[in-house]
Chains A and B, each alone.
Chain A
């Protein structure tokens, strides 16, 4: 019998202390959400093609997307040959928050809403390194839906909470204005607007190499327009999401406590 090969993994395999470290990191972010009344939700790893298209994700980030496939002919010898792949109506979720906008689709929100969810996400990145850039990773998100003033107030409070956690963990961090990795050159304007309007801010850990570990993303009414989420006066709500890269946090905390 041939020796068993080493199989690649898309995310770190954890046990014992590593699991505890990972769960502890997540628990702190969950508690931040709960402190402000976040409702906890669970979402699936698969996300419908139509939902992501509604969110205009495929136009913005086609290079990151991964799709679930079946086989046209399950008896074919070359089972996974490209011509035998039958894409289904499902993508692997590239982020958690898209499920939340769909969850509120068509609703009139009498009050601002905060929800939080943790999920496995998948992005086809150009390179992979555990704890930095993974094909599969876990993300905790806090999603806020309300008027701009309420959003600003809550984001400021949450940001201060995040700073305290980073400080307690001894992580050398700073906040910086950022932009999403839009694929097409025609999206240059979106990236410029993000930077000018400072709609995306990232908490970057400077050591050992700069690495974003939290992102705060303000969407204005972009998602509310697409998912018809309104305030009682019929105007679209504003949304924001705060995303915590749990694998990155866990890796940094782990290396800091060694």
Chain B
């Protein structure tokens, strides 16, 4: 769905968080123009309450994350505690990558 996919796997949680933040602020408004015109997001911006993330935006964000982990998210992963902010999504990314390397 995304025309702009993350370029590679991220070495650290921080690197992923920065890439995702950049994606939301820069690329997302291109692939989904309705997401344009918002105040720049920070890593702690509440995506839904403050950022007004809509249903199509979340599809792009999930696609970004799935491309980064190289797989699909389970239903258990799709919960607000994992998607409240960019930081929370980065935590999920880190946990999934850790699980992958431990298995």
User: Shortest beta-carbon distance, A59 to chain B, in Å?
Assistant: 13
**A198 at the B interface (CB under 8 A):** yes
Compute how far the CA of A43 lies from the CA of B88 in the bound complex, rounded to whole angstroms. Answer: 45
Contacts of A174 in B (CB 8 A): none
Q: Is B30 in contact with chain A by the CB < 8 A criterion?
A: no
In B15-62, the 8 Å CB interface with A consists of: 48, 54-59, 62
Which size class do B's interface residues fall under?
Answer: 10 to 19
- Taking CB atoms, residues of chain A closer than 8 Å to B48 are 196-197
Binds A, one of B5-13, B78-86, B94-102: B78-86
Is A177 an interface residue when CB atoms closer than 8 A count as contact?
Answer: yes
**B59 to chain A: closest CB distance in Å?**
4
Flag if B80 contacts A192 (CB, 8 Å): no
| Cβ-based interface call for A5 (8 A) | no
- CB atoms of A188 and B79 under 8 A apart: no
Residue numbers in A under 8 Å from B80 (CB-CB): 196-198
Contact A196 B59 (CB under 8 A): no
Q: Which residue of A lies closest to B58 (CB)?
A: A192
B-side contacts of A192, CB under 8 Å: 55, 58-59, 62, 78
Residues from chain B with a CB closer than 8 A to the CB of A193 are 54-55, 58
Q: In whole angstroms, what is the CA distance A189 to B48 when docked? A: 13
A188 to B57, CA, bound (A): 11
Q: List 15 A-B contacts (CB under 8 A).
A: A177-B79, A189-B54, A189-B55, A189-B56, A190-B55, A192-B55, A192-B58, A192-B78, A193-B55, A193-B58, A195-B78, A195-B79, A196-B78, A196-B79, A197-B80
